C-alpha cells in the first residue's frame, strides 16, 4: 500500500486512539478519589503508591534574608550557586558556576567524590571572593534516592545515573560532604539542609508568591509536593515545633490509572517494570516512546504512510518528545513544518491527510498527559481545600509545562471541568530554579529554625 494513501482505516484508527486515550470527567473524578486514598495511606505510614515523604521543612515566611549557598548535584554536571535573599520576597542569584565530574570521580571511592565536590566549592569561594570570615549555610540538592531523617540528614539508598562511588550507600550524604569540607580546610561553609528538587520548586515560588502552596515538576519526570498540617501526618514520630510541613508526594509512582496496550508495552521495555506508572503516562521521558509504539502498531496494521520508512523509528526511544512538540506546534495550512521534519527521516511527498494524522496522534497522547497531571493537581487542591475557598498558586517547573505547545491550556481546560467557575481560584505559574534558589531558601529556613 502506498504511504501517501489515506482511507477509512486511517480515520477509524484515529477514532480508536481517541477513545483509547480519552479520560472522561468521570474517570478523572475516580482518579481524584484514588489519589486521596493513597495520600491518606501514605501519611499514615501504610503501603501506598504515593509515598508522602516528610521534608522536615515548612514554607518560608518571606522574612528570610542574607547570603546563602546551594549545591545542585543530580548528575555528572553540578552547580554551586550563591543566592541573596532580601527578606521581601526577592531571591537573586549573585554567582553561579558549573562543574563536571569525570568517570574517576563517580566510580571511585565516596571520599574521592566528595573531596572533588568540596574542592569545587573552594574554587567557587575563591573565584567570587566570598567573605572568608562569614559562615555560609548551604542547601544541598541531592537528586538520588535517599532516606531523609532530618532537614540536614539523609542516607543514600542506592546510586543511579552511572554513579558507583563506594562507601556512600547507606551513609548520610550530608555528613560525607561536611567531612570533605573539613578535609579541604573550608571552615566557613555548613550544610544546613538536604533538599528534594520538587520541594525546592515550591519554596522558591512561595518566597515571592505567598499563596503558592503546591510545587510540581512536569519535565523529563514528574513529582509534586505541598504543605500539610502536622496533625494529618499521623506516621510522624518525631518532635516538631511547626504546625505544618512540606510533603514530598513522589506521585510519579501512582498506579491507579487505566492503562492501554501501549502503556503496558512501554512499561515492559523499562528497567523499572511496574514502577513509576503515572510518570510513564505523563512525563517527557516517555511520551515520545508512546507515540513511537503507536506508529509501530500502525505500520504493523499497514495503516497510513508508515511502512518500510518506519525503520527510522524501530529503536526504543528513537522518537523523542521534542519531535511531538515540533509536530503539534505546526499550525500552517499545509503543515509544511511537519513535512520538513518527516523528510529528515526519509519520508518524501507526504500528503496533508497523513501529516494531519501524525499531528493528531501526538495531540491525543499529549492531551492525556495534561489531563492526568492537572487532575493530580486538582486532587491535591481538593485535599487541602475541598470547597475551593482560597486562592492556590501552583508553581511548576519543567520543559513539558513550559515548552510543549498548548499543554498549559489543556491543563486549565481539565481543571475547569473539575472546578467550574471556581477555576479563577487556581493559578498555574512557572517556577524556576528550585534546586538553586529554592535550596538556598531552605538553607535559610533551616538556619533560622536552628537559631530559634
Read off the C-alpha cell for 114: 566528595
The answer to whether 52 and 245 have CB atoms below 8 angstroms apart is: no
Read off the C-alpha cell for 194: 538536604
CA distance 167 to 82: 29
What would you report as the CA-atom Rg of the chain, rounded to the nearest whole angstrom?
A: 24
Distance of CA 10 to the CA centre of its chain: 35
Active-site residue numbers?
79, 143, 197
The answer to whether 378 and 386 have CB atoms below 8 angstroms apart is: no
Q: How far apart are the first and last CA of the chain?
A: 75
CA distance 391 to 146: 33
The torsion angles phi and psi of 238, rounded to 5 degrees, stand at: -90, -175
Strand residues in 202-331 grouped as ranges (E): 212-218, 222-229, 244-248
Q: Which residue has the cell 561536611?
A: 178
Burial class (CB in 10 A: 0-12, 13-18, 19+), 337: middle
The answer to whether 307 and 3 have CB atoms below 8 angstroms apart is: yes
The torsion angles phi and psi of 82, rounded to 5 degrees, stand at: -105, 130
Residue closest to 357 by CA, chosen among 298, 417, 275, 407: 298
Query: CB-based contacts of 373: which residues, under 8 Å, 6+ apart?
Result: 216, 218, 222, 282, 411
The answer to whether 205 and 392 have CB atoms below 8 angstroms apart is: no
Burial class (CB in 10 A: 0-12, 13-18, 19+), 321: buried
In a 3-state reduction of DSSP, which class is residue 282? helix
Cβ neighbours, 10 Å, residue 388: 20
The answer to whether 396 and 166 have CB atoms below 8 angstroms apart is: no
Q: Bridge partners of 83?
A: 68, 93
In a 3-state reduction of DSSP, which class is residue 55? coil
CA distance 404 to 337: 16
Amino acid at each position: 500500500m502506498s504511504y501517501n494513501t489515506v482511507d477509512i482505516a486511517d480515520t477509524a484508527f484515529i477514532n480508536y486512539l481517541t477513545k483509547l486515550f480519552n479520560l472522561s470527567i468521570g474517570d478523572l473524578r475516580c482518579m481524584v478519589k484514588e489519589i486521596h486514598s493513597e495520600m491518606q495511606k501514605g501519611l499514615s505510614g501504610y503501603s501506598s503508591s504515593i509515598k508522602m515523604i516528610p521534608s522536615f521543612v515548612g514554607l518560608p515566611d518571606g522574612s528570610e534574608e542574607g547570603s546563602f549557598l546551594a549545591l545542585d548535584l543530580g548528575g555528572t554536571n553540578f552547580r554551586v550557586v550563591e543566592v541573596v535573599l532580601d527578606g521581601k520576597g526577592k531571591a537573586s542569584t549573585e554567582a553561579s558556576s558549573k562543574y563536571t565530574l569525570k568517570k574517576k570521580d563517580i566510580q571511585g571511592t565516596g571520599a574521592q567524590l566528595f573531596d572533588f565536590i568540596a574542592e569545587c566549592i573552594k574554587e567557587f569561594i575563591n573565584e567570587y571572593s566570598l567573605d572568608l570570615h562569614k559562615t555560609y549555610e548551604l542547601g544541598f540538592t541531592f537528586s538520588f534516592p535517599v532516606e531523609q531523617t532530618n532537614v540536614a540528614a539523609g542516607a543514600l539508598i542506592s546510586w543511579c545515573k552511572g554513579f558507583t562511588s563506594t562507601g556512600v550507600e547507606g551513609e548520610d550524604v550530608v555528613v560525607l560532604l561536611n567531612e570533605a569540607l573539613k578535609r579541604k580546610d573550608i571552615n566557613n561553609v555548613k550544610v544546613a539542609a538536604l533538599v528534594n528538587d520538587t520541594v525546592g520548586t515550591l519554596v522558591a515560588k512561595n518566597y515571592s508568591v505567598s499563596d503558592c502552596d503546591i510545587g510540581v515538576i512536569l519535565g523529563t519526570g514528574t513529582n509534586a509536593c505541598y504543605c500539610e498540617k502536622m496533625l494529618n501526618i499521623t506516621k510522624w514520630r518525631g518532635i516538631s515545633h511547626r504546625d505544618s510541613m512540606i510533603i514530598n508526594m513522589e506521585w510519579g509512582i501512582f498506579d491507579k490509572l487505566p492503562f492501554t496496550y501501549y502503556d503496558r508495552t512501554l512499561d515492559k521495555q523499562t528497567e523499572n517494570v511496574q514502577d513509576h506508572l503515572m510518570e510513564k503516562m505523563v512525563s517527557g521521558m516517555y511520551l515520545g516512546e508512546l507515540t513511537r509504539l503507536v506508529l509501530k502498531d500502525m505500520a504493523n496494521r499497514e495503516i497510513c504512510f508508515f511502512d518500510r520508512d518506519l525503520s527510522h523509528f524501530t529503536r526504543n526511544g528513537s522518537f523523542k518528545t521534542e519531535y511531538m512538540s515540533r509536530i503539534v506546534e505546526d499550525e500552517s495550512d499545509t503543515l509544511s513544518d511537519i513535512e520538513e521534519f518527516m523528510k529528515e527521516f526519509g519520508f518524501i511527498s507526504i500528503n496533508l491527510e497523513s501529516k494531519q494524522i501524525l499531528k493528531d496522534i501526538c495531540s491525543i497522547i499529549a492531551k492525556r498527559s495534561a489531563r492526568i497531571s492537572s487532575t493530580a493537581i486538582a486532587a491535591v487542591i481538593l485535599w487541602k481545600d475541598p470547597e475551593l475557598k482560597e486562592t492556590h498558586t501552583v508553581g511548576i517547573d519543567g520543559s513539558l509545562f513550559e515548552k510543549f505547545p498548548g499543554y498549559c491550556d489543556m491543563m486549565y481546560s481539565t481543571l475547569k471541568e473539575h472546578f467550574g467557575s471556581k477555576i479563577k481560584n487556581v493559578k498555574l505559574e512557572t517556577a524556576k530554579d528550585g534546586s538553586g534558589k529554592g535550596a538556598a531558601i531552605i538553607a535559610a529556613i533551616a538556619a533560622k529554625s536552628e537559631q530559634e
